[in-house]
A and B are shown apart, each in its own frame.
Chain A
C-alpha cells in the first residue's frame, strides 16, 4: 500500500524507498572514490563545486523557500572567507575560525535581513546588491585584512595533519558540506521549512496561520548568510589567496543562476545547478573570451526550454513515469 498512510513520518521521510537508499549509497561511493580515479585539477574543481553548492543551497533557502531574492551573496562569501582566513592567520584553530565565520555572517545576515522586511522583488535585489558591493568596498579599504592586496590563507591543520594535499582537503570539505546539506534537507521538512514556504507562497495566509512573518524572513536571511559564511571559511584555504576583487557582482549573479537553472525552490536543484555551472565553466575555460558569451547563451536556452530548471524537468519526467500509463 504505497499511498496508504498511517503515520505522518511516512510522508516526512527523507529517503522514501529502498531504491533511494541504493542511489544514495552509490552517490556516496562515487564521491568517496572520486579522488582516487580523477586527476588533481578535477579533484580541486570538485572541491570548489562542493563549496559552491553550499552557497547555492543557502541561496535556495533564501530565494527558493522564502522567496526573498539576493544579489549580494558574494559579499557573505567574502565575509566568511576573510573572517576565517584572518583568524587562522593570527593563530586561531580552524574550527574556531569556521564558527566565527558562521557567527559573523549570521550577524551580517541579520543586518540586511531586518531592513529587507520592508522590501520586495527588485527593490530587495538592489538592496542586497548594494550590500554585497559595500562588503567588497569595506574589505578593499581595510588594511587589517590586506585591503586590495588580498590575504594569503594556509590550508588548515587538524590533529597534526595539514591539508596541503588536494585530496585530503577534498575529503574535509566533502564531510562538512555533506553535513550542512543534510541539515538543510532537515530544515526543509521541519516546521520552520514549511513556514518559509508558506511565506513565499502566500504571506498573508501564513500570517493568519500563526507564522511570524518578520521572524521567519529574517531567520531565512541569517541562516542563508551563516551557511554561506561556512562556505567562505572553506573557500579561502582552497584558493589560498583571496582578494576583494574576486567577490564581485558577477559571482553573486552566478550563484543566483545556479539556483534558478538547477531548479528554484529545491535543494537538489541548487546542487545540480552548482554542478552544472561549475562544470560548464570548467568546460568553457578553454574558450577564454568566448566563455562568458557561451555561458550566457546556454543559460538563456535552458531557462527558455525549462523554466522550472534541471531538477524541475527531472521531477516532471519522474511524475510522467509515476503516472504511467495515465
Chain B
C-alpha cells in the first residue's frame, strides 16, 4: 500500500499502481495546460494523497513545486506566488480558495488554478475531471510526458522551498533532483526503511523533513504513508495506525508529555501511583533490575499502546531544539527519541544520532556530509545535499554559500564528530554587561514547564534578561478550573493574579537551574497566543524575535522600567 486515508470512519487504501497512474495522468494534463520546463507551480493544501500526486506530477512534467503553508494569510500567499512567478496554483478547497480570491487580481503570473475539491466554484479546474482526461490522454499519447521525464537533469530544480524567514521575507531555497536523490539514500543508510514501515503524515508537507519522509523516501523504499484527518485527530490516528517510524517536532513531543501528565493528575489513585512509581524506577540510569522490568511490562508498555507509540522503533525529533527533560521522559517510558539537525538549505539533513545516542547533541553527520566549525563558532556544512541557491536572490546566496561551504547561521560545537547546537547566530544576546547569552537554552528550560508553551527571552544591550511568555491554555486552564478561578478568555487567564503567581513560581524554579546572568529577572505573560498569520511566528512556529520585539516594544519597555522606579 502506498497511502491510507480515512474517509467516513474507514481507512481506505491506495495502491502504488493507483498512485503512479494518478501522477502520470495529472502530469500529462499539466503539459496540456501549458506547463513549461522549469516553471513553478504552487501547492496550497492540507496533507492528503492528492498533495503527493500533485508534487510528483509537477516534477514529472519538468516543473518545480512550491509548497505553501496552509496557515499562510492571503498576503503571504501572494508573496509566494509573485516571488516564484508561479504559472499555476493547486489548492484544496473553499478555505484556501478564499485566500486566492483576495489576491487573484494581483497574482499576474498564475495562468490556471486547480481545485481538489471545487465545491461548486465554476472558475476553477476540477481535479477529478483533469485526472480522468489525463488518464485517457496519457493512454493515447504517453510520449510528451515521457519526453519531459527523460529531459530532467540531476541538477534541475525540483522544489522551491521557502524558508521560514525568522528575519525578513522568506527566501526560496532551490533543491535539485540530485539533492533529493541523495537525501533518500542518506536517510536509508540510517533508517532501514522498507516497505513494511508505517508512517503517519501530519506535519506540513511544505516542510523539508515531512517532504522527505512522506514523498521522497517512500518512492525509494516503498513504505506506507497514512494521512491524518486533521490536526485534532493526530493522537487518535496514532492509536489506529501505530506507526513504526515517528518524526515529530519538539512541540508535539511536549504536547504528548503534558497530555499524559495532565491526564494523570485526574486519574484514579492506583493508576497515578503505578505511573509515578514506573517513572521512578525506570528513570535516571538505564532500566535494569526487576522493578524496572515489571514497570516496563505492566505499565509503560501499555502506556505506549494507548499513545499509539508501541510499534515505534525509530523516534526522531528535529526542526527545533528539544528540551533535555522531554528527551529524558520519553527514554524512561521506552521511546528513544533521537535528535537530528538539518536545514531546508541542506535538503533537511545535516546530522542525526545513530544507534550510539549522545543526549544533548544532534548526532553525527549523515554520510557524505562534512561539518566544520568556523572561527566565530558558526556551523558550516558541505555535501551533496547543499541547495542550488536562493531563487532570484544572488546576494543572499553569496552570503550563505562561501567557498563551497554553506553557512547555517547556527552556532555550535563538534566533539568526536558529535555536533551540539548552541543557538542561532543572530539570536545571541549580549547584555549591557557584555555577557553572551544563548536565549535558546533559557527558552527551552522555560518551555519544559507544563504551563508555559512558548518563551521569548529579550536582553540585547540591556542590564538584565526579561521574558515574554505564552501560556499553555489547556494546562493553565485546568489548573485554574481546579482552583475554581473564574476566567472567560485566554486574555483573562493570562492576567489573573493567581496565574501570574503560578508562573512566578515556575520561573523562580527554573531560574535556580540557570546561571545568575541567565536568570529571568522579569517576565510578562502575553495576552494572546502567537500566530503565523500575524507574523509573530513562522509557519513552523518558530518565534520571529524581531517582529515580537517590535510588536511588544511597549510591554518590554515596561519590564525594564519597573526596575528603574
Binding site for B on A (CB under 8 A): 1, 3-8, 320, 323-326
Contact = CB atoms under 8 A, between A and B. Distances in A.
7 contacts: A4-B241, A4-B242, A5-B9, A325-B275, A325-B299, A326-B271, A326-B306
Contacts of B239: 3
Contacts of A1: 240-242
Given A5-B10, A325-B275, 7 more contacts: A3-B239, A5-B9, A6-B11, A325-B271, A325-B302, A326-B263, A326-B267
A324 B11 contact: no
Contact of A4 (B240, B263, B300): B240
A6 B5 CA distance: 10
Contacts of A320: 268
Contacts of B240: 1, 3-5
A324 B275 CA distance: 10
Contacts of A323: 306
Enumerate the 9 nearest inter-chain pairs by beta-carbon distance, A residue then B residue, closest first. A3-B240, A325-B299, A4-B240, A326-B306, A325-B303, A3-B239, A6-B11, A5-B10, A325-B302
B242 A326 contact: no
B271 A6 contact: no
A1 B274 CA distance: 26
Contacts of B299: 325
B109 to A, nearest CB: 43
Given A320-B268, A326-B267, A4 B260 contact: no
The dominant DSSP class at the A interface is: loop
A325 B12 CA distance: 31
A5 B7 CA distance: 11
B494 to A, nearest CB: 29
Nearest to B11: A6
Contacts of A8: 9-10
A326 B303 contact: yes
B466 to A, nearest CB: 38
A3 B275 CA distance: 24
A324 B302 contact: yes
Nearest to A10: B10
The dominant DSSP class at the B interface is: helix
A165 to B, nearest CB: 51
Nearest to A4: B240
Contacts of B241: 1, 4
Interface string B1-16: 0000000011111000
Nearest to B8: A8
Given A1-B240, A325-B303, A7 B10 contact: yes
Contacts of B10: 5-8
Find the residue from A7, A320, A326 having the highest chain B CB count within 10 A. Answer: A326
A1 B9 CA distance: 15
A326 B274 CA distance: 10
B271 A324 contact: yes
Contact of B11 (A5, A325, A326): A5
B542 to A, nearest CB: 31
A320 B306 CA distance: 13
A3 B12 CA distance: 14
Interface in B297-314: 299-300, 302-303, 306
Contacts of B9: 5, 8
A4 B224 CA distance: 15
Interface in B219-271: 239-242, 260, 263-264, 267-268, 271
Contacts of B268: 320
Given A323-B306, A325-B303, A326-B260, A4 B11 contact: yes
Contacts of A6: 10-13
A16 to B, nearest CB: 16
A324 B299 CA distance: 8
B562 to A, nearest CB: 44
A230 B241 CA distance: 47
Interface in B276-296: 278
A6 B4 CA distance: 10
B86 to A, nearest CB: 38
Contacts of A325: 271, 274-275, 278, 299-300, 302-303, 306
Contacts of A7: 10
Nearest to B259: A326
A323 B270 CA distance: 13
Nearest to B271: A325
A320 B260 CA distance: 16
Interface in B381-419: none
Interface in B11-70: 11-13
B10 to A, nearest CB: 5
Nearest to B301: A325
A6 B12 CA distance: 7
A1 B11 CA distance: 12
Nearest to B306: A326
Find the residue from A3, A6, A325, A326 having the highest chain B CB count within 10 A. Answer: A325
Nearest to B226: A4
Nearest to B238: A3
B225 to A, nearest CB: 15
Find the residue from A7, A323, A324 having the highest chain B CB count within 10 A. Answer: A324
Contacts of A326: 260, 263-264, 267, 271, 303, 306
A146 B9 CA distance: 59
A251 B271 CA distance: 43
A3 B268 CA distance: 24
A8 B263 CA distance: 31
A8 B11 CA distance: 10
Nearest to B198: A1
Contacts of B12: 6
A6 B267 CA distance: 32
Nearest to B278: A325
B66 to A, nearest CB: 35
Contacts of A324: 271, 302
A326 B304 CA distance: 10
A247 to B, nearest CB: 46
Nearest to B12: A6
A323 B302 CA distance: 9
Find the residue from B260, B299, B302 having the highest chain A CB count within 10 A. Answer: B302
A5 B241 CA distance: 10
A3 B9 CA distance: 11
A115 to B, nearest CB: 40
A326 B303 CA distance: 7
A6 B271 CA distance: 33
